[in-house]
Structure 1
Amino acid sequence: MPRFAANISMLYPEHDFLDRFAAAAADGFKAVEYLFPYDYSPHELKTRLDDNGLVQVLFNAPPGDWASGERGIASLPNRQAEFRNSIARALEYATVLGNDRFHVMAGLLPAHADRATHREIYLANLAYASQEAARAGLTVVIEPINTRDMPGFFLNRQDEAQSICEEIGAPNLKVQFDCYHCQIVEGDIAAKLRRDMHRIGHIQIAGVPDRHEPDEGEVNYPYLFKLIDELGYEGWVGCEYRPRANTSDGLVWMHGLRV
């Protein structure tokens, strides 16, 4: 059975953020991930991890001005210096928190923008990020995100992400495979896992279409969990969903798998 990590940006909204570490540990999680750590010092977060016996799995590099609607800067023109600073900041936090990978968000493609120009910038920035991460022994992951939840996001399909990783050629650049996003954009999740597992660096789950617990909706997760094991995936599976109600009560899906 896969190892599950609690995405505490989405799970446990009934608790303040720093209290979500203890809540996740109490429910049996051994690892956590979240969107961004930068509102807190890395040492404060490390204390929460250590006090609760948790592993830090993943976070995102700084995404630009999130509050104003930016969703990453890796593909944006005239932001290369800011991008390099964002990678340095992500590495600073990862060094303390202990995660061995982080996610770099591509950003939104403006209407009528020249996609080829954005792609060229994206590849150059990812090559730089991979090089800097390699020096620290870390992996960079990129994630295709569906156009319903995030209209205009530069990267939407698994084959696009795989092609970018192959073109750059860095062994520490991999794809973050979110089953929820994949199902909405293109479906056929099992076939894509079989095809791409050699370059998948992280997996996330949520029910489709409503992004609730993975025990409802159109995706057969018990089947996928078995397949993920059969394919030899040894990483964590991030539970990145919005609980229907109380987070702990909704974890019957996970506890049932472990019986």
Structure 2
Amino acid sequence: MPRFAANLSMLYPERPFLDRFESAARDGFEGVEFLFPYEHAPEEIAARLRGNGLQQVLFNAPPGDFANGERGMACLPGREAQFQAGLLQAMRYAQALGCPRVHVMAGLVPAHADRAALRATYIANLRWAAKQAEREGVNLLVEPINVRDIPGYFLNRQDDAHAVLAEVGAGNVKVQMDLYHCQIVEGDVATKIRQYLPTGRVAHFQIAGVPQRHEPDLGEVNFDYLFGVIDEVSATCGWEGWIGCEYRPARGAAEGGTSEGLGWLRRWRTRTGA
């Protein structure tokens, strides 16, 4: 049965970040994810998790200068030392928060860059990072992202992500399969779930309505059907991960807007008894 985690970087935007944990718990979420925790002490976040009975299921390693447009460093030659320092910082947070998954953003392709050199750097960085994460019992995730939302992002397709995993050769490096990005880049999402979930290399899903990245019941994708596919395949392959709700509420920062937009989740819970 799919378990849904609230993405606190996007949901409940009317609340200060640390207050969003309580809002998520009040709406029945048992897990949370977010982009970056580094503006807050890990002890402070851990206290919010404990106080609201929540599990931390995912966050991102430091991406470089995010405010000025950077979206990861893993594929960038010459940034290895900064990448390594960021990964070690992420491991400290993962331990403090009891979080078993950390997403490593690949980065943007520089103008006139040699993609072969970028890929070699990406593979080498992931191999190094996998060894550090293995000591902490953490899975590292790579995520194919569409180039409409993030122009120039290095990793875009599911098949390429799985090829990267094969080349890295580490059992604790897995795929973060965002169905919003997958629909925009490739389509045929149900077939890809059936293809890749049984491999054991998909550690996490994320969802958002396409094309506006609002609630999953808004837009061109039938997420009720896809949830059923995940449920069906999970029953045969034993997958027990989470689905992150990484969308922007259609009601924006209106008071109670996120909670009002959770009708899709309430309907799913009623129908499945979850």
Q: Which residue of 2 aligns with 1:191?
A: 191
Q: Is the counterpart of residue 128 in structure 1 residue 128 in structure 2?
A: yes
- Tell me, in whole angstroms, the C-alpha distance in 1 between the residues paired with 2:122 and 2:76: 7
- Tell me, in whole angstroms, the C-alpha distance in 2 between the residues paired with 1:89 and 1:65: 15
Q: Which residue of 2 aligns with 1:227?
A: 229
Where 2:105 maps in the other structure, the secondary structure is coil
Task: Give the deviation of 1:165 after TM superposition.
Answer: 0.2
Task: Give the deviation of 1:139 after TM superposition.
Answer: 0.3
Q: C-alpha offsets along residues 46-85 of structure 1, whole Å, 9 cap, x if unaligned?
A: 0000000000000000000111110000001101111111
Q: Which residue of 2 aligns with 1:56?
A: 56
Where 2:221 maps in the other structure, the secondary structure is coil
- Tell me, in whole angstroms, the C-alpha distance in 1 between the residues paired with 2:138 and 2:176: 14
- Tell me, in whole angstroms, the C-alpha distance in 2 between the residues paired with 1:139 and 1:240: 20
Q: Which residue of 2 aligns with 1:205?
A: 207
Amino acid at match of 1:226: G
Q: Which residue of 2 aligns with 1:74?
A: 74
Aligned-residue identity in percent: 61
Q: Which residue of 2 aligns with 1:96?
A: 96
Amino acid at match of 2:180: Y
Where 2:262 maps in the other structure, the secondary structure is helix
- Tell me, in whole angstroms, the C-alpha distance in 1 between the residues paired with 2:26 and 2:196: 34
Where 1:247 maps in the other structure, the secondary structure is helix
Number of positions where the alignment pairs a residue of Structure 1 with one of Structure 2:
259
Q: Is the counterpart of residue 256 in structure 1 residue 262 in structure 2?
A: no
**Which has the higher mean CA deviation after the structures are superposed, 187-196 or 149-158?**
187-196
Task: Give the deviation of 1:95 after TM superposition.
Answer: 0.4
Q: Which residue of 1 aligns with 2:244?
A: 238
Task: Give the deviation of 1:195 after TM superposition.
Answer: 1.1
- Tell me, in whole angstroms, the C-alpha distance in 2 between the residues paired with 1:67 and 1:226: 37
TM-score, with normalisation over the residues of structure 2? 0.94
- Tell me, in whole angstroms, the C-alpha distance in 1 between the residues paired with 2:27 and 2:136: 32
Matches within 5 A, 1:171-182: 171-182=171-182
- Tell me, in whole angstroms, the C-alpha distance in 1 between the residues paired with 2:89 and 2:71: 17
- Tell me, in whole angstroms, the C-alpha distance in 1 between the residues paired with 2:168 and 2:79: 20
Task: Give the deviation of 1:149 after TM superposition.
Answer: 0.3
Q: Which residue of 2 aligns with 1:170?
A: 170
Consecutive unaligned residues in structure 2, runs of 5 or more: 252-256
Query: CA RMSD of the aligned region, Å?
Result: 0.6
- Tell me, in whole angstroms, the C-alpha distance in 1 between the residues paired with 2:86 and 2:12: 28
- Tell me, in whole angstroms, the C-alpha distance in 2 between the residues paired with 1:203 and 1:7: 12
Where 1:214 maps in the other structure, the secondary structure is coil
Amino acid at match of 2:267: G
- Tell me, in whole angstroms, the C-alpha distance in 1 between the residues paired with 2:191 and 2:169: 23
Q: Which residue of 1 aligns with 2:114?
A: 114
Q: Which residue of 1 aligns with 2:8?
A: 8
Amino acid at match of 1:6: A
Where 2:258 maps in the other structure, the secondary structure is coil
Q: Which residue of 2 aligns with 1:24?
A: 24
TM-score, with normalisation over the residues of structure 1? 0.99
- Tell me, in whole angstroms, the C-alpha distance in 1 between the residues paired with 2:78 and 2:153: 18
- Tell me, in whole angstroms, the C-alpha distance in 2 between the residues paired with 1:167 and 1:122: 10
Q: Is the counterpart of residue 87 in structure 1 residue 111 in structure 2?
A: no
Runs of 4+ off more than 2 Å: none
